[in-house]
Every structure is written in C-alpha cells, then in structure tokens.
Amino acid sequence: MGICHSYTPDGRCISLLKILLTNFCLYECAYCVNRTSSNVPRARFSIDEVVNLTMDFYKRNYIEGLFLSSGIIKSADYTMEQVVAVARKLRLEHRFGGYIHLKTIPEASPELLAEAGLYADRLSINVELPSEKSLKRLAPEKNAHSIVRSMANLSSGIEEYKESQKLARKKANKKLIAPKFSPSGQSTQMIVGADASNDAIILRKASQLYKSFKMKRVYYSAFSPIPDASSELPLKPPPLVREHRLYQADWLLRFYGYGIDELTDVTNESQAPGMLSLDVDPKLAWAIRHRDAFPVDLNRADFETILRVPGIGVINARRLVAQRKVATLRYQDLSKLRLPIEKLKYFVTTIDHCPNPTQLDAANFSSLFIAQKNQQMNLFE
Amino acid sequence: MYSFSVTDFDGWRTIARGLLQANVAPSEISWQPPEQHGLFSPSSLENIIDSATRVSSSYTHKIPRDFLQRAQQAACFSDRKDPARKWSILYSLLWRIVNCGKETLLLTSDPDVRCLDSMCKAVSRDKHKMKAFVRFQQVVSHDVEIAGQASCEGDAEYYVAWFEPCHAIIESIAPFFVKRFTGMKWSILTPDGCAHWDMTQLTLSEGVLKPEIDADAFDLFWKAYYRNIFNPARLKEQAMRSEMPKKYWKYLPEATCIQDLTRGAAAITEQMINAPATNSNRARDKSQAVAQFQDTLRLNNRIDKNTGA
C-alpha cells in the first residue's frame, strides 16, 4: 500500500515488511513452499523480534509497515493469537503509526479476529482456489465453509465500523464511533494455474467475492516454480502473462462496466473456451470481436462508449469529454494527450480523422496488433 | 517592458496580483531569475498600480483555488536552462484565466497548460520519489555535529538522511516527514536546504555538502530481507529499473545486491524446475502426530460437506 520504498529485480514493489512469524506448518497445501512435506529449512521469530524489526525498518524509512502471516502451528487459535500479539504490541506499547496487514486464519475464533481488527489496517483471508473441489484436493486441511464464514464476519465488522463513522459524522459526535475494525477493508488471494479452472471460472469467483464481502482487492497469483515442489502439482507453471490478463480483466469488470461473459465468451476463436487471450489485452480483444461498434466519434459519443475504446483509460476519457466542451477534438489533440495513436487510430473518428473502413473489416485485422504485442510480451516471459 | 526578479511563489503571487490589477499583459513583462536584478525592483510595483487609473482598487479577480495550488507546486520546478520561465508561464495562464475564463485550464493540449501540467508532474514525481527513497541512518558516535545540529542533546536517538532532489521541494515536503517520524529526532540534508526535527519543532537551514555519516550497520538486516524475497523465476529487471531508476541506487543499501540476484536468477530457476518433486506424504509417513492432526481436519471437512453445513 502507499509508497513503494524499493523494488525487487522481479519488478515487485516493496512497501511492507512481508514475513511469516514461522514457516513451520501443519498443513499440506500442494502449491505452498512451506507445506509439511517440504524440505525447506524451518525457522521461527519471537514476537519481540518481529516487533523490533518492524520498528527499526520503519524508522529508517525502508517500509510503510508490516504484513504478517504465519504457518499453522499447534492450532489455528494458537497461531492467530501469536500474530495478534505482534500487532497488539506494536500499537499499544510502541505507538506504531504505520500500516499493518494481518493474514487471518479462517479457522481461528471470532474473538481473535475481532481483536485483530482493532490493530490492523487490513485483514485478509485467502480463498486460495476458485472451487471447493480444488480446495479439497490441493489444500485438504482448509475448510471452504470456515473461509466463507470468516470472510462474512470480517465484512460485517468492517461494515459496522464504517456505519458508526458515518453516524458520528452526521451527528457530529465522535463518541458514536465504534472500536476500529480493519479500516482499509479486506482482501483475498487466489492461486492461478494449480488447478484446471479457466479464466471465466476464476473471474466469476472473484466477482462473487467482491459482491458478497465488499473485497478491496482479489489478488491473482500464478503459481510459480518453488524449490522442492509437490508431486500433486501440474508439471508446468502457467505463463505469467495469464496472471497479468486476469488483473486487466478484473479492472475492466470493476471500473469499466464490462460483464464477465463479454470478456470471456470467445468460443468462436482459436483459443480454449473461457480463457482470456494471451496475445492481446482483454479490452482490445473485446473491441476486435465487436468491430461493428466502431469507429467511435470522440466528439459525440457518451463517456461509457469512449471508455470502451482500446487505448483510452478512465482519466483520458474524462479529459476528452471535458475538452470537447471547449473546442472540437482534432486528431492532433490525441497525440498531445499522449494517447497510443497506433492502436487508437482504427477505432475513433475526430473532425479531421476517419479510419479506413476496409481495414477495420479486414479478416486479418487482429494480426495488426498481435505483431505489435509479441514484442511487448517478452516482458512477461 | 517591465522586469521583475522573483525567488519564490509568495513573491510571484504578490507581483502577479499587482500586475493583474494594473492590467499589464504577459507580453509586457520580463521575468528574471533572482541573481539578475530586474530593471524594476518589486517595490516599483506600487508605481505601476498607482498609474493604472483604469482599474478600480476594490476590484478583485476570482482565481480558481485549483490553479493556485498547481501554481504553487509548479513554483518548486527548477529549470536549469531557463530558471525564470515558470514565472512567465504562470502569469500568462493567470492572465488568460482572468480574460478568457477558467475553461482555459481545460485545454489540455494548449502549450501553456501542458507546460504547467508537466512541471506539476515533475515536481510531484520528485516529491514522491523523495518520500520513497530518503533513507535514515542512525548516527552512532555521540557529540557529532551535522549541519549545525548536535546529536548528543538528551538521550534521543538521532537519524540523518542525505538526498539530492531534482526540484526545490525540501520546504514543502518536510511536514510529511514530521508527521511520519514525529517521535524521532532527525535531519534531512540536501544541497539546496536542510530540514531538522527535534521532536517539537521543525527548522530549515541552508544546504550542505554531502557529509560523512558514522552510522550503525542495521542495513545488513534489510539487505538480507531484500535478497530473500526475490523470486528468481520472475526476473523483470526492466520493470524494476523503470520504477527505481539507477540514479536513486546510491541512497539504497540494498542496491548492492541487485547484480548478484539478477545474474544468478536463470540458474536457480532451472534448478527449481528440474528438481525432483517431493512425495506429499513425506511428513505424514515420518510423524504420527502430523498424520493425526491432518486426518482430523480432513475428516471434519468431509463431514462438513456431507451434511451440507
């Protein structure tokens, strides 16, 4: 969250000290490097060690805060109690003002979850896999019902706190604010490529989570080679670009008004049913399938229609709509806004530009973009 | 032609307000960097206003607050080639807002508007990177004096950071660090100015040369963390470099690890992929307690499903 204080050579932002209290674990989740059967070396931090490390890193401006998770030892409650103890000590003894994200163990008691909510800015419970069947097979100690129950508990706790804030504001009485509960909401993580679920199933599960539990984010995590892999896993990890396409689709579903079917209904194409294209991004793929909706006249079309033009995002769509009230849009204005003209030019008209209609209708239209994209894709391979 | 020399936003604002009242067009003004004295010193502004009988003194212009905020941001911009250019662009925009309406700012493809945008963006990026990459070191030796700040007053730990921002942002960014590191005594040193916080008061002082800091070795732990969270199977060096350009690496202790991590990535990934898979019953076969624990949970989960609970 917030500021990235460094980047790893794999391009990930480092913003939180993200550690496990211990990597000893009694669960046998096939995709996890710390499952019981794994040969990785084991270690355990004391509560004070994590507290001091967090404080010292924070004071040097290395991090925004702590993201604490843990392998399951002894029992769910015992482990959760240790995790909560770290957050409690940071907040109450050290007056720590940074960010705290706690990974919550779904089987732990509701009382522990409630206390975690007092200290944490964010709580998260991993849904792990898109279907209950896959969960049974790959993470046999995890219980789908506990996951749902605990997500619902978090959701109502968060909601209650939010409501009390609203009421307090309305009545101008701070005393009405309920005890804090995970003010930055909850999030979850789903493993991609460890089971056979296609993108449509994954996105449907994600949508359901966003809707039922008001998730802030669903994180998609393409399982990546780990040292000492389990014999239960598929031999080949999924292409990393699949994870990227899922994030793009997730964004389109939440902020661009697309439906899941619009993005994944690709039965007439050369790819597997229910899968997003790896060659082009899901928005461009939709536009290529719906060429009859283009070109869009940027001077007349409504905001929602402009949002569907490949290469125009929410901010630029807003800019275009604001700007055309002052002066009619010209082709030149698009490059001044630094829009990707090479992609855009086939899909829009301005007062002085209209794409060649034969190009848009041509059978090999999509190959125009795949050639461009193939160079970029190297980034993800 | 009038000529003005300006050092900061407040100075520009005072002059610009007067010029606007006197209805002086942007083309009639030459803005100068502070070291070159203008033909008119700011005090002669009164003469210009006095002679401008065409404007009533009670007349005030309504300037959108959003523009003033952005202008203040752009005022931090340092343009080495043409240091006074920002003042002339800001005045020209102000003039157009008053004469053509605040819609001027919506013309995102207009050269002045774009210039304001890009200055604001550059300053805001510079601030953002400073918030991210300022790294405090805890000063070890007592009785040292850094930029006029003694480290031994009281028993409080003293932290120091050295940073070279591209733009003149130290003053506007200092409150951010005060808010975040309130319970800590610190100094941030830059060539153009320094900020010091003694846990009660913020003071600003002249810029300094890069000091020698006798710091503790805590960065060892940070480097260990950095080395261990890297996933060699996902090497994306370009993505890292675009967010964390090399010019910042000198502030980051972990940057010394990057080369080794990058170089070894392919071999480690190969090794991971080719390693034989581990039998998923390995632990269960060895320990009855583990098997029992897992079986209890697995049985529970099955019952859960059967009863549809």
Domain assignment present for residue B109? The answer is yes
d(CA A122, CA A184): 5
Residue B211 located in a structural domain: no
Instruction: Return the pLDDT at B308.
Output: 47
Give the whole-angstrom CA distance, residue A286 versus residue A276: 10
**Average pLDDT score over residue span B114-126:** 94
Higher per-residue confidence, B276 vs A113: A113
Which residue in B63, B84, B66, B65 sits closest to B8, CA to CA? B84
- Decide the pairing of beta strands A186-192 and A122-124: parallel
As a whole number, mean pLDDT of residues B266-282 equals 86
**Is B103 part of any domain?**
yes
8 Å CB contact between A336 and B107: no
8 A C-beta contact, residue A151 and residue A186: yes
Q: Tell whether B212 is covered by a domain.
A: no
Which residue did the predictor score with more confidence, B306 or B10? B10
* pLDDT above 70 coverage of chain A, percent: 95
**Which of A207-211, B19-23, B140-144, B233-237 is the least confident region?**
B140-144
Q: How confident is the model at residue A338 (pLDDT cuts 50, 70, 90)?
A: confident
Chain B: give the shortest CA distance to residue A288, in Å.
28
Question: What's the residue count for chain B?
Answer: 309
Out of A3, A38, A319, the one facing B278 most closely (by C-beta) is A38
Cis, bond preceding B253 (omega within 30 deg of 0): no
Boundary of a domain, candidates B127, B160, B176: B127
ipTM: 0.86
The DSSP annotation for B171-184 comes to: HHHHHHHHHHTTTS
Alpha helices in A89-138 (DSSP H): 110-119, 132-138
pLDDT of residue B143: 60
Residue A270 has a pLDDT of 65
Mean pLDDT of chain B: 86
For residue B58, pLDDT over 60 is answered with: no
- Answer yes or no: do B280 and A323 touch at CB < 8 A: no
State whether B233 and A39 contact (CB < 8 Å).
Answer: no
* B210 found inside a domain: no
How many CA within 13 A on the CB side of residue A63?
A: 23
- Is residue B298 pLDDT above 70, yes or no? yes
pLDDT greater than 90 at residue A200: yes
Q: Which of B109, B134, B226 sits opposite A6 (nearest CB)?
A: B226
pLDDT-wise least confident of A140-149, A243-252, B15-24 = B15-24
CA distances from A243 to A152, A371, B40, B175 (A): 26, 21, 63, 39
The CA-atom distances, in angstroms, between B150 and each of A49, A62, A246, B153, B209 are 31, 25, 54, 7, 17
Q: Are B94 and B67 in contact (CB under 8 A)?
A: yes
pLDDT band of residue B59 (cuts 50, 70, 90) is low
> B269 to chain A: which residues are within 8 Å by CB?
225
- Measured CA to CA, the distance from residue B278 to residue B136 in angstroms comes to 44
Rounded Cα gap, residues A142 and B9, in angstroms: 60
Structural contact between residues B140 and B215, judged by C-beta atoms closer than 8 angstroms: yes
pLDDT tens for A258-280 read: 999 999 877 655 677 889 988 88
pLDDT in tens, A81-125: 999 999 999 999 999 999 999 999 999 999 999 999 999 999 999
> Which residues neighbour A30 within 8 Å (Cβ) at sequence distance 6 or greater?
A138, A139, A194, A230, A232, A233, B280
Judge: A5–B301 Cβ closer than 8 Å, yes or no.
Answer: no
Average pLDDT for chain A: 90
Identify the pLDDT of residue A378: 47
Count CB atoms within 10 A of the CB of residue B112: 18
- The answer on B185 and B121 residing in a single domain is no
Contact predicate B42/B11, CB 8 Å: yes
- Give me the mean pLDDT over the A131-151 stretch: 93
**Residue A301 phi/psi, 5° resolution?**
-60, 150
The pLDDT tens digits of the residues spanning B2-25 come to 888 888 899 999 899 888 888 889
Residues within 8 A of B (CB atoms), A 158-187 only: none
What share of chain B has pLDDT > 70, as a percent?
Answer: 86
| pLDDT value of position B306 | 55
Residue A377 pLDDT level (bands cut at 50, 70, 90): very low
Q: Which CATH class is domain A6-238?
A: alpha beta
Ranking A162-171, A248-257, B95-104 by mean pLDDT, the lowest is B95-104
Chain B: residue whose CA lies nearest to A232: B280
- The C-alpha of B273 sits at a distance from chain A's nearest C-alpha, in angstroms, of 6
CA angle B15, B16, B19 (to 5 degrees): 85
Residue B144: pLDDT over 80: no
Q: Do B162 and B69 fall into the same domain?
A: no
Q: Choose the closest CB to A145 out of B237, B284, B309.
A: B309
Contact criterion met (CB < 8 Å) for B280 and A325: no
B271: tokens are 């090794």
User: Based on the domain organization, do B91 and B182 belong to the same domain?
Assistant: no
pLDDT digits (tens, 9 = 90+) for A58-70: 999 999 999 999 9
The SS3 assignment for A328 reads coil
Report the distance separating Cα A201 and Cα A259, nearest Å.
Answer: 13
Q: Are residues B121 and B144 in the same domain?
A: no
Q: Which two tokens stand for residue A366?
A: 């999509």
- With a pLDDT cut of 90, the percent of chain B lying above it is 50
- Residue A323 touches chain B, beta carbons under 8 Å: yes
What would the pLDDT profile of B84-99 be if each residue is shown by its tens digit?
899 999 999 999 999 8
Return the higher-pLDDT residue of B177 and B19: B177
Q: Where along chain A do its domains lie?
A: 6-238, 282-380
- The answer to whether residues B257 and B309 belong to one domain is no
> What pLDDT band is residue A140 in, cutting at 50, 70 and 90?
very high
pLDDT tens, position by position, B229-267: 988 888 888 889 998 999 999 999 999 999 999 998 889
The whole-angstrom distance between B265's CA and the closest CA on chain A is: 10
Task: Of B78, B84, B91, B67, give the one whose Cα is nearest residue B6.
Answer: B84
State the residue range of the domain holding B250.
Answer: 219-274
Strands (E) located in B148-280: 149-150, 158-162, 185-190, 193-197, 202-205
Q: For residue B140, which amino acid is it?
A: V
Report pLDDT for A372.
Answer: 56
Q: B112 and B150, same structural domain? A: no
Top pLDDT among A11 and A86 is at A86
Same domain, B53 and B109: yes
What pLDDT is recorded for position A381?
40
Q: What gap in Å lies between CA A355 and CA A349, rounded to an integer?
A: 7
Report whether A223 contacts A191 (CB < 8 A). Answer: yes
Question: What's the rounded Cα separation, in Å, for the pair A213 and A202?
Answer: 16
Looking at residue B151, its pLDDT comes to 64
Alpha-carbon distance of A4 to B254, in angstroms, equals 14
In this prediction, residue A379 carries a pLDDT of 45
